[in-house]
Amino acid sequence: MSVLSFIVNWLTRLVIYILSSGPVPQHVAFVMDGNRRYAKHKQLEVSEGHVDGFGALKRMLEICLRLGIKCVTVYAFSIENFKRPRGEVDTLMSLAKDKLDELCSHGDLLDKYQVRLNVLGKTDLLPPDVLEVVHRAEAMTAKHNGAILNICMPYTSREEITSAVESIVRSHQSGEIELDSFTPGYPPENIYTDLPDDVKSRWSTERHGDPVVQECQWVMLKLEKLSVFMKSHPCNVSAFRVYGGLGTKDSEMHELIRGKLRDDDIPQTFTLNYKTPGAGVPFACRYIKICPISYNMSLWHVGLSGIVEEVFVKGVHEGYIKVGQHKDTLALHLVLKHLRRSNFLTAHSSLLSQTGLRTEHPKITRLHDALVTEADLATTEELVKSIAEEEGLFEYCARVGSPACVWKRMTPEGDAGKTPVGRGGHQLCLDVERGVIYLFGGWDGAKNLSDFWSYTIATNQWKLVHEDTAAIGGPSARSCHNMVYCHTNRTIYVLGQLNEQPRANGVNPQPQPQRADADFFKCSLDATGEGGTWTLLNPSGVEAAGGPPPISDHQMIVDEENSLMYVFGGRMENASYRDGGPAYSGMYSFNLVTETWTHIFHDPARHDGPTANPINIYSRTDPATFMTYHIDKKLWVRSESWVGSFKPSTNGDVWEGLELPRPRSAHQVVYDSANKVFYMFGGNSGEDGIPRLNDLWSMRLVRPTVKELLRKALLAVRKFRFKLMCDTIPPFEALTYLQTQVSEVVDNNDENEAADLRGLLSYLLSRTSDGDTRMNGTDDTEVNEENRKERRELFDFLMQFVDPTEREPETELRDVVENV
């Protein structure tokens, strides 16, 4: 390549980069005119002018595609051009044939940028050989989804209007359409194709001025088979509701979802409800009804995913037919619960014997009788033990109960100087097989760091592997980079950094080495895992090799099975959106075997809309958007993830006395999947006077055991029994019971339980000071209604530990009855 060509190419790239940072249109149209005047001016043959015109078009098309313009329309040949000399028309047709073949050749523009070609106009006027090439080109690019190229030939606007009217009239005469069912040019069959960049590809109706008529708009889809819909449903309307059922009447349909779509080109997926409300009985659908809430119907594409296997659907349908029996059973359960709760025991027993229903486990019934009806707390305690230990009815609660976080501060063995200094914006990765955590880089509050450490979990020791990785050919000091570990080749990969600008606020400012785009390294670890060799990947630049531009605060993950590393997002250095906000990178994959990059997609906000797309995560600590990307389906699924905030304490020592990590940001966490332990290191506390942290913590998620649940249940029973003793036996005996039986099941490490124990002692003293009312001869079986209510509340408390299928329903009959 000559120096001049190099300069021209470099300037072209620079101009494209500058243009791409500003507003970029989604659709650009060209009129190919002036080729003959150009040829005359250059003293060329007319045919040569047309050849140069096609060359200019190809260059302009490539620039449009590199800018990210999604649709280009070229008015190439008017019907009026057939009136030109026969030789010139033949030359144009031959040239069009050759250029279409050239555009569709493998590796050329349409293949490189995944462009779908449309030839619009009265194509039956084209010569047969040209028409054959047109059809072949359209077929070859039919599945391309990167951009759209519309070539209008032969074409005139009057002919287009005439053809559209003729098509509508023919369709109406054949009974295919009703004239008021769509806006001309946007027929219903357009929703069969998912072409968001094609201006022709949608079904649209006209907006009515009458609000009553507007409310009546809807879309009814008839499915080919009876189906159960349990999966996603992408569409593109504004606020909407979706109904489904066996018939088209409102009474035959259930609401499946209500929602609202973003105004962008990212397909959205919605999970449809497939169970009846309350009872939760699955039902099959034959009709799906989509109702817009405030606007006219405008659908680009509707896709439905569900189950259509006849055996499965038949079983679901038969179960739904029997839903009436299910409702009857549920109603009886609620009535029986209400009768027993209201102490109508005779009616309860009579109804139970007539229906023969099994409403709960037999020992749960005995527990209710002993506790609520008979006030026999000794028997109650024995039944609770039996229910938990012998019948296993507490196992469900132990299995699905919310886990608790158990934190432990790791105090490494050895000298204090052999541990990393405090930092934030660093990176950790974990070798699960060896049990080694690796730490690299970060910001200590004054400068970036380039030290590389290993922490061995088994020995609880840090080791400084490299004091300065840059000195041995590794990455320079940095922060806000990312680092991952590949177990297959025992290699660490480091990419990106937040470029630090030299600061003159110190006596000896320490500007960091700037290596712009050369920021992708790997460290091949040795057999011990405690040392390795650093290698700079893509020396000419990651972006030049097809990877992401210089970025920071991105995310990376390794797909061990396919030997791929994925890189997503991150703030791009020296780039911004049209509104002045920071620009973010897209998604890339890096083949760990061939060490080559593949670009998957750009950040969707890069070219769309006046403001940044909400897919971006703008802050590490603000409320963020959580996105899941399906690599094979190329589909985003969105949900909201919220991060709670905290106010720094005015007393900096408040966290020192707690076995919990201090609140922080810019820290790092790795997960040991073998032992199910999280490890967290460092970060910024955000509190004045506190430097960057260098503490290491482990955290396990621990679910309550059956033994722990039984302890809590016994504590509740014994606390209740103690309060009764305070009114029925001498204070000394009650105090003895408190010191032996109650304290035996109290967790003294739980501040709430310890405080409750002290509160019970105060309760005993208060009852004693009220006078000798405890020995009034009241029998446990002769309690008033207030005591019975308290025992019922204790029974309800114990039921939270029991398998829901073995106890009465949680719903109250009085809550079901409406308008009372």
User: For 261-271, what is each residue's pLDDT tens digit?
Assistant: 776 667 778 88
Q: Give me the pLDDT at residue 573, please.
A: 76
Length of the chain: 820
90 pLDDT tier (thresholds 50, 70, 90): confident
**% residues pLDDT > 90 (the chain):** 23
> Which of 51-55, 434-438, 504-508, 646-650 has the highest mean predicted lDDT (pLDDT)?
434-438
Residue 256 CB neighbours (<10 A): 21
Higher-pLDDT residue of 812, 632 = 812
Indicate the pairing of strand 624-630 with strand 253-259: unpaired
> Which of 79-93, 206-220, 406-420 has the highest mean predicted lDDT (pLDDT)?
79-93
The topology under which CATH files domain 422-502+513-643 is Neuraminidase (2.120.10)
DSSP string, 553-574: S-EEEEETTTTEEEEE--EEEE
Say how far apart CA 48 and CA 46 lie, in whole Å.
5
Which backbone phi and psi does 232 adopt, to 5 degrees?
-80, 160
Residue 87 pLDDT greater than 70, yes or no: yes
Q: Give me the pLDDT at residue 424, please.
A: 93
Higher-pLDDT residue of 565, 627 = 565
In this prediction, residues 373-382 reach a mean pLDDT of: 92
User: For 25-35, what is each residue's pLDDT tens digit?
Assistant: 888 888 887 87
Residue 552 pLDDT greater than 70, yes or no: yes
Which residues make beta-bridge pairs with 599?
A: 588
Residue 772 pLDDT greater than 60, yes or no: no
Residue 642 pLDDT greater than 80, yes or no: no
Residue 514 pLDDT greater than 70, yes or no: no
Higher-pLDDT residue of 603, 607 = 603
Higher-pLDDT residue of 197, 113 = 113
In this prediction, residues 424-435 reach a mean pLDDT of: 94
Residue 624 pLDDT greater than 50, yes or no: no
Residue 618 pLDDT greater than 50, yes or no: no
Q: Give me the pLDDT at residue 108, please.
A: 65
Residue 546 pLDDT greater than 70, yes or no: yes
CA-based nearest residue to 450, from 465, 461, 462, 435: 465
Q: Give me the pLDDT at residue 387, please.
A: 93
647 pLDDT tier (thresholds 50, 70, 90): very low
Residue 744 pLDDT greater than 80, yes or no: yes
Q: Give me the pLDDT at residue 653, please.
A: 43
* pTM of the full structure: 0.52
Q: Which CATH superfamily is domain 197-321 in?
A: Galactose-binding domain-like (2.60.120.260)
Higher-pLDDT residue of 717, 761 = 717
In this structure, of 265-269, 565-569, 637-641, 783-787, the range with the lowest mean pLDDT score is 637-641
Residue 371 pLDDT greater than 50, yes or no: yes
Residue 296 pLDDT greater than 60, yes or no: yes
377 pLDDT tier (thresholds 50, 70, 90): very high
Higher-pLDDT residue of 37, 648 = 37
Higher-pLDDT residue of 184, 84 = 84
Looking at every residue in the chain, the average pLDDT score rounds to 78
Question: Hunting for tokens 């380039």 — which residue is that?
Answer: 450
135 pLDDT tier (thresholds 50, 70, 90): confident
CB 745 within 8 A of CB 714: yes
In this prediction, residues 205-223 reach a mean pLDDT of: 65
In this structure, of 336-345, 574-583, 664-673, the range with the lowest mean pLDDT score is 574-583
Q: Give me the pLDDT at residue 216, please.
A: 63
262 CB burial (10 A radius; 0-12, 13-18, 19+): middle
Residue 459 pLDDT greater than 60, yes or no: yes
Say how far apart CA 215 and CA 38 lie, in whole Å.
57
CB 547 within 8 A of CB 590: yes
How many secondary structure helices (H) and strands (E) does the chain include?
A: 20, 31
DSSP state of 288: E
Residue 766 pLDDT greater than 50, yes or no: yes
The contacts of residue 308 (CB under 8 Å, 6+ apart) are 224, 225, 226, 227
**% residues pLDDT > 70 (the chain):** 76
> Is the peptide bond between 154 and the residue preceding it cis, with omega within 30 degrees of 0?
yes
CB 605 within 8 A of CB 577: yes
Strand blocks (E) in 541-684: 551-552, 555-559, 564-568, 571-576, 582-584, 587-591, 597-601, 624-630, 635-641, 668-672, 677-683
Question: Hunting for tokens 């397909």 — which residue is that?
Answer: 267
CATH number of this structure's domain 25-155, picked from the four choices 3.40.1180.10, 3.40.50.720, 3.90.870.10, 3.30.1330.20: 3.40.1180.10
In this prediction, residues 218-238 reach a mean pLDDT of: 64
In this prediction, residues 543-550 reach a mean pLDDT of: 89
In this prediction, residues 720-740 reach a mean pLDDT of: 89
Going from the C-alpha of 391 to that of each of 363, 364, 379, 394, 403, the distances in angstroms are 9, 10, 16, 8, 23
445: left (phi over 0), alpha (psi -120 to 50) or beta: left
Higher-pLDDT residue of 566, 415 = 566
In this structure, of 643-647, 697-701, 725-729, the range with the lowest mean pLDDT score is 643-647
Higher-pLDDT residue of 565, 644 = 565
Torsion of CA 285, 291, 297, 301, to 10 degrees: -40
Higher-pLDDT residue of 722, 54 = 722
Residue 405 pLDDT greater than 80, yes or no: yes
In this prediction, residues 682-695 reach a mean pLDDT of: 84
CB 74 within 8 A of CB 29: yes
617 pLDDT tier (thresholds 50, 70, 90): very low
